[in-house]
Amino acid sequence: MDTAPKDTEPLDTAAPRETAPRALITGSTSGIGAAFSAQLAQEGYDLVLVARGAQRLEAQAAQLRERWGIGASAVPADLATEAGIAAVAEVIDAERIDVLVNNAGYGLASSALETPVAELAAMSTVLLRAVQVLSWHAARRMLDRGRGGIVTVTSLAALTTMGEYAADKAAATVFTESLAAELAGTPVTATAVLPGFVATQFHAAMGAQRPTFPRLAWLRPEQVAREALAAARRGAVTCVPGAQYRVLAAVAPLVPRPLVRWASAGFGFDRAARAAPVS
């Protein structure tokens, strides 16, 4: 992903610049997505920001334009819907997007059987279908232009059996790896990023209490974005931010699957106890 700014115009205009690289980031307004947005803006990228809340999205775009002098546009879209995915795909087809960051996502506070099936489907649409559709459109446009990079934020949960979230993240990881294989030998890359625990509002947003792990267990969103972009620029297929989690990811395949299932179930006990029954 050789898309760092080169010979760009001075960073003194809020309008999109023809020679500036451009990145589209889903789930851009908080957590890891906000960190990607800030990092790329600082590097001189023009941005296309995607999230559900239009007001918050516009405020983020304005703030980034004012601070970094870049072009930043807001595309409100609900990626849990086919219409929302289609709207973002249209932007990818119509505009030059050098870097796509698939970051939008959320979790559920209840287990699969305690969650309405429509909610399971909506989360799967955000975590997997949106990744597939947007990556497909981006990869084809990037191949036509002869450069580009796709970064998909999945999760180390993909190595576990912790419900629908883990299943969707595992599928998104495999999809990105397979896409990277198809793109091998081209100037376009695809990188799956598998963070561990990150200090964001992820748990609060799904109505769950953040696990009380030692400080060492928590990554900063800025570290995840920085390491992910560095890995993508190296052409890495996968990236596990944080040395502690790289060790865990290396050991995980050696753990017997029954033990993985046991540990995953144990981790979900507290969540299941707090969940309200489905009516």
Active site residues: 165
What amino acid occupies position 236? A
* DSSP secondary structure, 152-198, as one string: EE--GGGGS--HHHHHHHHHHHHHHHHHHHHHTTSSEEEEEE----B
Ranges assigned E (strand) in 52-146: 72-76, 99-102
In degrees and rounded to multiples of 5, residue 74 shows phi and psi of -110, 130
Contact indicator for 223, 241 with CB cutoff of 8 Å: yes
Eight-class DSSP state of 9: P
CA 273 to chain centre: 29
Report how far residue 54's alpha carbon sits from residue 271's, in angstroms, rounded to the nearest whole number.
31
> What is the DSSP pairing of strand 46-51 with strand 72-76?
parallel
Q: Count the neighbouring beta carbons within 10 Å of the beta carbon of residue 233.
A: 16
